[in-house]
Amino acid sequence: MGGLWACHLHQADHPVTLILKDAAAEESFLRASTIKVDREQGTIENHFPATLAERISADDLTVDKISLLVTTKAYDTLTALQSISHILTSYSVVVIMQNGMGQHELVHQAFPHLPVMTAITSQGAYSKAPFHLVHAGHGDTWLGRLADQEQMVAKRQAADLLALNIPAFWDEDIASRMWVKLAVNCVINGLTVVRECRNGEILATELHSRIIRLCDELELVLAEVLSGSATPNLYDEVTRIAAATSNNISSMRQDVLKGTGTELDYINGYLCSEALRRNIDVPEHRALLHELRELVPS
């Protein structure tokens, strides 16, 4: 996702620097030398600088105010920000574009003065080779402020991202959207891992009553955390997204197949701890989390 947004920013003439996490990523970028994006209209190639986090210095940047789009996995967010803390100031704008919840609070605790925003996207991109992406699905992206920033100020800070050739909108109530996304990910990602299946296969009849119980519990949690905001019928939302992405391998299942870390603690784990903190009983989710913990390396 980072590569896709970097290309869109670059095409809109914004100075872009890719910040890579380790020497292996840097070596692979040097070998590729560009980011390629395959689209229906053909492949585009984008050249821009890349650097390692530890090597970046404020002098390398051609702008005095940086906007940072964080597209790491949720569990790497804090480490990623700490690795570039020497270039962050209270004028920097940080936009976290990821699945999961909980990482934003960690960032806010560690960097209380940093304006942190969140972005939720239904754009689909996958990597065909290192730094060669396929832009496979077009969707919308929603941005919103997280902490106590003023709506208009935050929206103005996100203006560059809202004006690209990729549909992106401001949401004054991004928390509701984040919770609905978390709820959908708890069910689809969780069940596709335990059933070792693609997204659409969770719609099989034998999972029907389990999905209903999971969604009923999620509605109890959402009613409490989003007091007042209208939430969609979660069963309809889960089944709609499972059908729309039916051939996808969910991100958590992809992580399990690759043997890398997963976002379990920021998806199903976060839901169960928030439910516990608020005294809401979610036995079906606790059972799913337990099953996932047996299967998924933490």
CB of 122 to ligand KPL, least distance (A): 7
Question: In 3D, which of 168, 160, 170, 169 has the Cα closest to residue 12?
Answer: 160
Q: Given the rule CB under 6 A, which of 47-55, 108-116, 156-164, 181-189 is the region that contacts ligand KPL? A: 181-189
* Separation between Cα atoms, residue 70 and residue 161, nearest integer Å: 13
Among residues 77, 98, 141, 245, the one that binds ligand KPL under rule CB under 6 A: 245
103 binds ligand KPL (CB under 6 A): no
96 binds ligand KPL (CB under 6 A): no
Which CB atom, from 141 or from 157, has the smaller least distance to ligand KPL?
141
199 binds ligand KPL (CB under 6 A): yes
Which CB atom, from 53 or from 188, has the smaller least distance to ligand KPL?
188
Which CB atom, from 92 or from 199, has the smaller least distance to ligand KPL?
199
Question: In 3D, which of 4, 190, 209 has the Cα closest to residue 97?
Answer: 4
Which CB atom, from 118 or from 251, has the smaller least distance to ligand KPL?
251
* Separation between Cα atoms, residue 262 and residue 260, nearest integer Å: 6
Which CB atom, from 104 or from 155, has the smaller least distance to ligand KPL?
104
CB of 231 to ligand KPL, least distance (A): 17
250 binds ligand KPL (CB under 6 A): yes
Residue 138 region, left (φ>0) first, then alpha (ψ -120 to 50), else beta? Answer: beta
248 binds ligand KPL (CB under 6 A): yes
Which CB atom, from 1 or from 50, has the smaller least distance to ligand KPL?
1
CB of 185 to ligand KPL, least distance (A): 5
189 binds ligand KPL (CB under 6 A): yes
CB of 196 to ligand KPL, least distance (A): 15
Which CB atom, from 155 or from 253, has the smaller least distance to ligand KPL?
253
* Separation between Cα atoms, residue 247 and residue 4, nearest integer Å: 21
Q: Which residues bind ligand KPL (CB under 6 A)?
A: 99, 185, 188-189, 199, 241, 245, 248, 250-251
